[in-house]
Amino acid sequence: MYPALTYAVAAYLGLVAVVSLVGIVVDPLAPVARTAMRVGQLATVVVVVLDLITLLQGHEVGSLVTHVGYAVAALGLPAVLLSRRPEDPAEDPAEDPAEDGAVPVEDVPQHADPHLAVLAVTAVALCVLVVRLQQTW
């Protein structure tokens, strides 16, 4: 694989984690952290695709199942951690807004951004997964 690229992506993801944590306190850094995380996800996809191409060309790894597991986790983890669904009060019968006399709001955003702490945890996890992917070569 490409160790220099892999470790550069891992270092970048570590930087994204730090910027995300600082962005919790310093509000103007929040959009920067979110954009940086998208770039980090794209860089992770590039590393995994290059790894897959190398595997398809016939390179053998010590444990193929472990290696593929790291690759799948590196692609799937951000999808799980960074996707948020808006809460629907109709799903919970205990919290019916009509009982309070409250008027339901129709302009609920369909996608809310995850908290910056979740971004930081995701960036650290991706950093670990990318490094482990490289180490299983």
Q: pLDDT digit string (tens) for 65-88?
A: 999 999 999 999 999 988 866 565
pLDDT score at 92? 53
The model's pTM is 0.79
Instruction: Determine the pLDDT at residue 33.
Output: 95
Write out pLDDT tens, residues 27-38: 899 999 999 999
Amino acid making up residue 132: R
Q: For 102-126, what is the mean pLDDT?
A: 77
DSSP 102: P
With the CA atoms of 68, 16, 14 and 47 taken in that order, what torsion angle do they form, in degrees rounded to the nearest 10? 30
